[in-house]
Amino acid sequence: MIWLTGVLPQGLQAQFYNGSNMNFGKSRVQWSNTIWFYYRFDAFDTYFYLNGEELAQYTAQYAEKQLPLMARKLETSLSEKIQFIIFNSLADLKQSNIGLATEQTYNTGGITHIIGNKVFLYFDGNYLNFEKQIRAGLADVMVTQMMSGGNIGTQIRDAALFKLPDWYKNGLFSFLSEDWNTAFDSRLRDGITSGRYKKINRLQGEDAMIAGHSFWRYLEKIYGSAIIPQIVHLTQTGRDVQNGFLYATGLKYKNLVKEWFADNKQHFAGTESIQPEKALPLKYRTYRSFTRPAISPDGRYLSYITSDEGRIKLWLMDLQTGKKKKMFKTGYSTDDKIDLSFPLTSWHPSGEILAFVLEEKGKTFLYFYNLAEKSAESRNLFDYQKVTHISYSPDGKKLAMAAVRKGKPDIYVYDIPSNSHQQITNDYYTDLEPVFMQGNKLLVFSSNRTSDTLKVQTDAEEQGATFDLFAYDFQTGNPVLKRLTDTPLANEKSPEQQKAGFIEYLSDQNGFYNLYSGRFDSTIAFVDTLVHYRYFMESQPRTDFTTNILYFTGSDFSEHQFVTAWQNDRQKLFRLTDNDFSSSGFGLRDSTEYMRNLVSDFQKRQSAPIAEPVFRKRFRPVFRPVVLNDSILPPSTPQRQGSLVFTGRQRTALLNQGKEVTNQEKKAPPKRRNYLVEYFYDQLVTQIDFTYINHSYQPFSGGGSPIYLNPGFNAVMGVNLIDLLEDYRIAFGVRLNNSLINNEYALTFSNLKNRLDKQIVLHRQSVDETTENYYTRTHSHQAFYVLGWPLKETLTLKATAIYRNDMKVYLSVDQNSLKKKNEYENWGGLRGEVIFDDTKQVSLNLYTGMRWKVFGEYYQLVDKEMTNLVVLGFDLRHYQRLYRNFIWANRIAASTSFGRNKLIYYMGGVDNWLVPKFNRETPIDFARNYAYQTLATNMRGFHQNIRNGTNFIVLNSEFRFPLFSYFFHNPISSAFVRNFQLLAFGDAGTAWAGLNPYDPSNVLFTHYVNNGPFNISVEQQKEPLVGGLGLGARTTILGYFVRVDIAWGIEDRSFKKPVFYLSFNLDF
């Protein structure tokens, strides 16, 4: 279940108000205030902010073309408009409140997440990636709409929506949004040949996406493209993934997976595996990536970057001693998109300075780290939205940079002494990885441009499908670029100068990214009054690996070369040896089957007559003949089958392939509008409830009955409203008592737009209590004003001002109660919290990582002096993955209260116990002047009040084992089976009053005997510390998370009779 807190933000369950149900959660740090605008179109709107207008216009042009194509693929149509929300960078997206969960949900029943049509885009400096995001967003919206229904009524009906496996969902989005490529092919080869992809349902992350993409691609090859929407429709109709495949193909899901795996295994069979041999002695993990290795010019130092699921570190290794130093770290463990675009590094030619670029606090900084002085100088690169590459010039005075400004990914030369730059390109083509060559004469970079002439573009061009290498004459400023490679089906990237006149780069010509070496040369093209030269480059492969090289670096001085590549499901950093390449060069082995098929398909099409070119007004012609060397390989190199060597006619056809050509002029964008806050449904809550909700402590009732007396079955209803950007949130909830008298209401408003988060909370609650002489009803009215200041995404400071009014009404049952006047108390208070949370959710009730909270509270009766209450406490939780989704969870929590008034902690039982029981034998020290009460859980094996006092400490340890999802290979549609978990647990702790649990003043050590006129007190020996051991089971029933536990308490070193617990609550 989701109690009323399902629609209330996290500040309301801040402390031990509901046992161990304490909220944590991450925050977002807004380093700048953005003003949003939007364009309105018929089928969608595009939202943007400063310097993002060009991206919004590009999105509109591209989405308008892709929307009917995606609808045709899925045989569906949109029921509502799409909102494209466009961020200038991933760092800006991470500052937003998009997807931020502000409450920790401890029950899961009766909640409906309203599916919207929002698509979030960010620009990483590559328009091909940006286009892929648009297509994936369209696919996501349409598939989600097909699965969940297009209106709120349908979504309420399907509130307990079945879970789609990662490979199904993410693989389908990838299949619909991008073509198969060499990076996918290499990872698939590794996963198939190693057998890791055989159990496709267990895959996560990128592996799940690639395997799923391959599976959908296989289905299309066997059954045709029409099978894809059929499977999606039938999956939605039958509410079962396996039935969707069965009804559409006639084969069981497990048989389809076997056939897909066998087909790919045969596809890759017989291919010799050639990989780099010598990995550096580093710690390699499945979740750790190694990026951007860079060797110093003198060959002594190697810098590289690691990322552990979001924890990014920059390392410096001394290759002579093998020692390494951590120069920088940032980030945290996250399920969100990990930004691997920084740090960027480059070595000064002297080898004494390492320059690196970081994105910090919403800004881009350039650092110069001096190895000798061990100090760094920083500069703010405020002229750029994003920097994607830096490289020193040979004289060390300039940096070649690839950067983004106003949506244009261009090449710049940054002058270090003057802190100024020169813009080289000024268009919408994606220009990447510039480096200086031949001294400061040439700039070589990778680009998908289809025009070799530089000009200022005000309108976006269609992007080329692949990347080639180009050279710009930096000395003369000639606007005509020199095309160094021309492989329309392959990509060349990461150029790096090695020797005078030589360049090394990566290319996937044969289906794998291998290392190539090229030599500049020129011949006389023609002579008029001057001699004109034609430049070209002769290239040959240096490696012939059957895995992709992700990054490489080399040094002329030391002749060391390093690469990063996948090996055994891990990214590793290798030092290349003589066995890895030959200085004399060699021809590549036959291309992969994927690449051969790609070339074969083109050759079949190119035999057809080529249509006359159609030119677009004010746009470049998409049909352009190219006159270049027919081969980029040396003339002596034999051409093998599948080689990407084309004639001029073939290149021309490839440039024109697959592009819609029109002679219509570009449409003018519509009127730019200011974004005004509008609210949308985010969640609806309709559920059966079994307990009160406490947003502060309950008034002390004197003991004798279970705390949080069960009010019986109640109906809970609530609604969450959020604005488009999720900066503003309104939540309202009501718990209807069966008598409609003790109803509970809560209303919150949250403003998260700026860094300082603000929240206002109003809450009303009524609780009936029974004492020895009276029946009372306490009406509590509470108001909270919460301020939150995130120091970083995982660490937040919070301060809360509290006002509480308690009205105790004595219900009339006799003359004495009729004469009893109502009592009023007005409390004011302050609360401070420090919250840390870097956990990741593996599955329902299963986490990894750590979270903790330290808090302090002060309460004061407003109209009375010498009455106050101080509460201090902490709660630390750690979740360790033992294997896959088998989790070991540990928690330690403690709290204390002091002042004129006290808070009593009752230890024992579990949270939201359906039939709570109270231990009346444990004495309560009424002399402590208790004002409020709460529970200290979990302490299984006992009833409530096995120990009590003004202090408590508890330790919980649980092994959580998801039985069926751990062993089953097939998708599990049943939430009961999928979420079924077995637990083994142990608890230990105590509650006491006094300085320590063994303080003689502890009332636990005194036993009172009433014998007629005599009251006898007897001192007794008891162990304050208690514990419990037991077993439990958890699962989801009708959307409610149900816990069943049996535990044996340990008191005074002996086991007690087992206690059975039935509760509705997630574990800590």
Report pLDDT for 589. Answer: 62
Model confidence, pTM: 0.87
Q: What residue type is assigned to position 353 of the chain?
A: I
Q: What share of the chain is helix, strand, coil (3-state, %, to 5)?
A: 20, 40, 40
**C-alpha separations of 75 from 118, 248, 281, 291 in Å:** 21, 15, 52, 41
Q: Are 734 and 712 in contact (CB under 8 A)?
A: no
Backbone φ and ψ for 457, nearest 5 degrees, come out as -110, 130
Task: Retrieve residue 990's tokens.
Answer: 């105590």
DSSP symbols for 578-631: TTT--TT--PPPPPPHHHHHHHHHHHHHHTSPPPPP-PPTTS--S-------S-
Report d(CA 77, CA 208) in Å as an integer. Answer: 27
Q: In what order do the strands lie in the sheet with 420-423?
A: 386-392, 398-405, 408-415, 420-423
Condensed to tens digits (0 to 9), the pLDDT of residues 877-906 reads 999 999 989 999 999 999 999 999 999 999
Give the distance from CA 43 to its chain's centroid: 29
Q: Are 57 and 45 in contact (CB under 8 A)?
A: no
Backbone φ and ψ for 164, nearest 5 degrees, come out as -85, 135
Report pLDDT for 149. Answer: 63
Report d(CA 888, CA 878) in Å as an integer. Answer: 8
Q: Are 202 and 165 in contact (CB under 8 A)?
A: no
Q: Which helix (H) or strand (E) holds 147?
A: helix 127-148
Report pLDDT for 609. Answer: 61
The DSSP bridge pattern shows strands 44-48 and 82-87 to be parallel
Give the distance from CA 532 to its chain's centroid: 54
Which stretches of the chain score pLDDT less than 70? 1-15, 101-115, 149-162, 522, 525-526, 528-535, 556-558, 582-590, 608-667, 687-695, 704, 708-714, 772, 1010-1012, 1014
Report d(CA 397, CA 415) in Å as an integer. Answer: 6
Report d(CA 794, CA 512) in Å as an integer. Answer: 39
* Most distant CA atoms of the chain, gap in Å: 130
Report pLDDT for 620. Answer: 36
| Cα three-residue angle 947-951-953, rounded to 5 degrees | 75
Task: Of 835, 725, 843, give the one whose Cα is nearest residue 789.
Answer: 835
Q: Are 973 and 1009 in contact (CB under 8 A)?
A: no
Tokens 């929407």 found at? 229
* Helix, strand counts (H, E) of the chain: 15, 54
Report pLDDT for 614. Answer: 45
Backbone φ and ψ for 173, nearest 5 degrees, come out as -60, -40
Task: Retrieve residue 554's tokens.
Answer: 């080399």
Report d(CA 726, CA 354) in Å as an integer. Answer: 40
Q: Are 576 and 559 in contact (CB under 8 A)?
A: no
Q: At what angle do helices 166-177 and 53-74 cross, to 10 degrees?
A: 110
Report d(CA 495, CA 507) in Å as an integer. Answer: 10
Report d(CA 215, CA 200) in Å as an integer. Answer: 10
Q: Coil, strand, or helix at residue 282?
A: coil
Report d(CA 904, CA 893) in Å as an integer. Answer: 16
Report pLDDT for 273. Answer: 79
Report pLDDT for 834. Answer: 96
Q: At what angle do helices 227-238 and 241-249 cross, to 10 degrees?
A: 130
Listed in sequence order, the residues at least 6 apart from 679 whose beta carbon sits closer than 8 Å to its beta carbon are 721, 722, 723, 728, 730
* Strand-pair partners of 423: 412
Report pLDDT for 608. Answer: 62
Report d(CA 276, CA 267) in Å as an integer. Answer: 23
Report d(CA 339, CA 384) in Å as an integer. Answer: 17
Q: Are 1024 and 992 in contact (CB under 8 A)?
A: yes
Report d(CA 463, CA 457) in Å as an integer. Answer: 13
Task: Retrieve residue 895's tokens.
Answer: 């709290």
Q: Which domains does the chain have, with CATH numbers?
A: 4-25+689-1064 (2.40.160.50), 278-591 (2.120.10.30)
Task: Retrieve residue 844's tokens.
Answer: 């329902």
